[in-house]
Chain A
Amino acid sequence: MSTTVKIKLPQPDDLDAVFYETVAKTGKLCIQHCKDCGTWTHPARYYCPECASENFAFEPVSGDATAHSFTISHFTVEPAWKDLVPYVTIVAELKEGPRVIARTKMKGDEITIDMPIKLDVEVIAPEFSYVWAGKAEG
């Protein structure tokens, strides 16, 4: 199955741009991490939602996650996605707390709610990378 999709790249600004630039630079899923209370936040915010600190860095996460929810898209009006239906999208809950959206090569019937998964990134451009979810090993 081809997974390549010719999408219109987003033009993120503010901290969303910093997030994607950090991921592209490091090749790793990096999430905003509060230097004062340790809370991980996604999407990134100027102030920590837990302690209101503005001291943070984007740091790599483990990639260990669970499938909090998912959807199987059987229909699309977007030419770029037409060849890929049905495509599966997962709401992945990182061990560190935040949730991210992830593509997956798994089929819909292979996924159960809250099952363990492993996340990785595919760098597309400085302004966008895909998160991919696969089966957690062992």
Chain B
Amino acid sequence: MTSNSISGKAAIVGIGEVGYFRGTDMSILQMVSKASMDAIKDSGLSPKDIDAVIPPPGFVAWDEIAAQVGIPEVRYTACPQMGGASPVAALITASMAVATGMANAVLVPIGWNGYSAIRPRPDARPNKRRFTAAFFETVRNYYAPYGLRSAPWWYSLYLQRYVKHYNVPPEAAGAVAIACRKHAQLNDLAVMRDRPLTMDEYLASTFISEPIRKHDSCVETDCAAAIVVTSAERARDLKHTPVTVLGGAEGHPNRPDELINRKDILKLGLDYAAPRAFAMAGVTPQDMDFLQIYDCFTYVALLELEALGYAERGGAADFVKDGNIELGGKFPMNTHGGLMSQGHCWGMNHIVEATRQLRHQAGRSQVKDCEIGLVTGYGDLGDGTIAILGRNG
């Protein structure tokens, strides 16, 4: 650990999770406000103690969040813009803010209407809230006119090379989908609770765009979640066992704003970020008690596991088989069900779950006596983030 690192200097002290809905009457701002207030209350702090807000990269802005939950003085804001890699990036930025004294307590919420935006109820109020990203220009100019409209179509452009060049069997992706689905059976909030999935069902699932099948894709949900981050020192006097940030990093493919002109189209942002995060924490991938992996698509999760060092490129199939990534296995992954089966909260649900695990409050999904684990983020066109979290530090 270098002296200027954030390792051990910040902790997650509050979590809020509104739920995962296939349609809700709550607006995005309402859900984000509730997640925020729940996280603040969970920490034992009051809105008056919060002095920084890191908003999501769309839908709601920092100032309306501050106004809704009654934060009287905001001293710091920032907004990582990297889609599903944003929550972990926000956690890192929040950690830097409290480690340097720029802020005392940072609220990091996210939420959206991932279900209702696509299937609004006939009587629903019109939703004006949007998410935008610079790479949308690339999509509009170069991908969408080819019938490649959104994430499964874009990502399939590079994932098919992964599958064909390395002979990645569909059963490897299936193992990820099934592990997430199994874990969702233990989670009261999971959308896919009571809907188990077998390998035969997975393999019979129809293709969206090869190699991505329907069952390789996460579930669209309306949801919001939030965390509160403060200094490790302050965290000691608060309500819960602090969950300390031991290491964190972000990384981005070159070029970040388009998918296909990268020298190695399978090299994710996480390939760049992971070694830096492990070095900062002074630990190795083998030390992890659990993995909360950003699982927008199963094949992306396989590439992330390889980027983290659990397998050589193309070799994740061996790592995910025989229950290795299921509860009871060596590296339980997405113990809440993940984006695949709990719900798509941009990976903030992964941070919330990691925090519950390390507090030893994960109920039936508890990884016994866990002390350390990691959370990844993946967003836009391959941005990658990672945080390594520990109990007590």
A99 lies within 8 A of chain B by Cβ: yes
Contact of B157 among A7, A8, A20, A69 (CB under 8 A): A69
Given A43-B141, A101-B142, A5:B147 Cβ within 8 A? yes
Interface size class, chain B: 20 to 34
Stretch of B148-156, B186-194, B236-244 with 4 or more beta carbons under 8 angstroms from chain A:
B148-156
Please report the C-alpha to C-alpha distance between residue A108 and residue B156 in the assembled complex, in whole angstroms. Answer: 13
Contact residues, A94-116 vs B (CB, 8 A): 98-101, 103, 108, 112-113
Contact residues, B196-215 vs A (CB, 8 A): 206-211
With a cutoff of 8 Å between Cβ atoms, the chain B residues found around residue A91 in the complex are 157-158, 161, 260, 265
B148 contacts A101, C-beta separation under 8 Å = yes
Given A16-B137, A101-B260, A71:B209 Cβ within 8 A? yes
Please report the C-alpha to C-alpha distance between residue A79 and residue B392 in the assembled complex, in whole angstroms. Answer: 54
Contact residues, B315-340 vs A (CB, 8 A): none
Give min CB distance, B266 to chain A, whole Å.
Answer: 9
Give min CB distance, A123 to chain B, whole Å.
Answer: 13
Please report the C-alpha to C-alpha distance between residue A112 and residue B167 in the assembled complex, in whole angstroms. Answer: 12
With a cutoff of 8 Å between Cβ atoms, the chain B residues found around residue A69 in the complex are 157-158, 160-161, 164, 260, 265
B210 contacts A74, C-beta separation under 8 Å = yes
A37 lies within 8 A of chain B by Cβ: no
A22 lies within 8 A of chain B by Cβ: no
With a cutoff of 8 Å between Cβ atoms, the chain B residues found around residue A72 in the complex are 207, 209-210
B144 contacts A10, C-beta separation under 8 Å = yes
A42 lies within 8 A of chain B by Cβ: yes
B147 contacts A43, C-beta separation under 8 Å = no
**Chain B residue at smallest Cβ distance from A16:** B141
Contact residues, A19-47 vs B (CB, 8 A): 20, 42-43
B371 lies within 8 A of chain A by Cβ: no
B216 lies within 8 A of chain A by Cβ: no
B145 lies within 8 A of chain A by Cβ: yes
A1 lies within 8 A of chain B by Cβ: no
B76 lies within 8 A of chain A by Cβ: no
B140 lies within 8 A of chain A by Cβ: yes
B310 lies within 8 A of chain A by Cβ: no
Decide if the interface of chain B is mainly helix, strand, loop or mixed: helix
Give min CB distance, B147 to chain A, whole Å.
Answer: 4
A136 lies within 8 A of chain B by Cβ: no
A53 lies within 8 A of chain B by Cβ: no
With a cutoff of 8 Å between Cβ atoms, the chain B residues found around residue A71 in the complex are 148, 153, 156-157, 159-160, 209-211
Contact of A99 among B138, B140, B261 (CB under 8 A): B261
Contact of A74 among B164, B209, B260 (CB under 8 A): B209
B141 contacts A12, C-beta separation under 8 Å = yes
Please report the C-alpha to C-alpha distance between residue A29 and residue B153 in the assembled complex, in whole angstroms. Answer: 24
A9 lies within 8 A of chain B by Cβ: yes
**Chain A residue at smallest Cβ distance from B145:** A7
With a cutoff of 8 Å between Cβ atoms, the chain A residues found around residue B137 in the complex are 13, 16
Please report the C-alpha to C-alpha distance between residue A70 and residue B148 in the assembled complex, in whole angstroms. Answer: 12
B258 lies within 8 A of chain A by Cβ: yes
A78 contacts B149, C-beta separation under 8 Å = yes
Please report the C-alpha to C-alpha distance between residue A69 and residue B162 in the assembled complex, in whole angstroms. Answer: 9
A74 contacts B208, C-beta separation under 8 Å = yes
With a cutoff of 8 Å between Cβ atoms, the chain B residues found around residue A77 in the complex are 149
B59 lies within 8 A of chain A by Cβ: no
Please report the C-alpha to C-alpha distance between residue A43 and residue B261 in the assembled complex, in whole angstroms. Answer: 8
**Chain A residue at smallest Cβ distance from B155:** A71
A113 contacts B165, C-beta separation under 8 Å = yes
**Chain A residue at smallest Cβ distance from B150:** A77
Interface string of B99-133 (1 = CB under 8 A from A): 00000000000000000000000000000000000
A128 lies within 8 A of chain B by Cβ: yes
A70 contacts B149, C-beta separation under 8 Å = no
What are 18 of the A-B contact pairs (CB < 8 Å)? A7-B145, A8-B145, A12-B140, A16-B142, A71-B148, A71-B160, A72-B207, A74-B208, A74-B210, A78-B149, A84-B147, A87-B147, A91-B260, A99-B260, A101-B157, A112-B164, A113-B165, A128-B145
A residues touching B (Cβ–Cβ < 8 Å)? Answer: 5, 7-13, 16, 20, 42-43, 49, 68-78, 80-81, 84, 87, 89, 91, 98-101, 103, 108, 112-113, 128, 130
Knowing that A13-B137, A43-B138 touch, tell me 12 more A-B residue pairs with CB under 8 angstroms.
A12-B140, A16-B137, A69-B157, A69-B158, A70-B157, A71-B148, A84-B147, A89-B148, A89-B157, A91-B158, A101-B148, A130-B146
A-B complex: 8 closest residue pairs judged by Cβ atoms = A69-B161, A71-B156, A73-B209, A81-B147, A74-B207, A72-B210, A99-B260, A10-B141
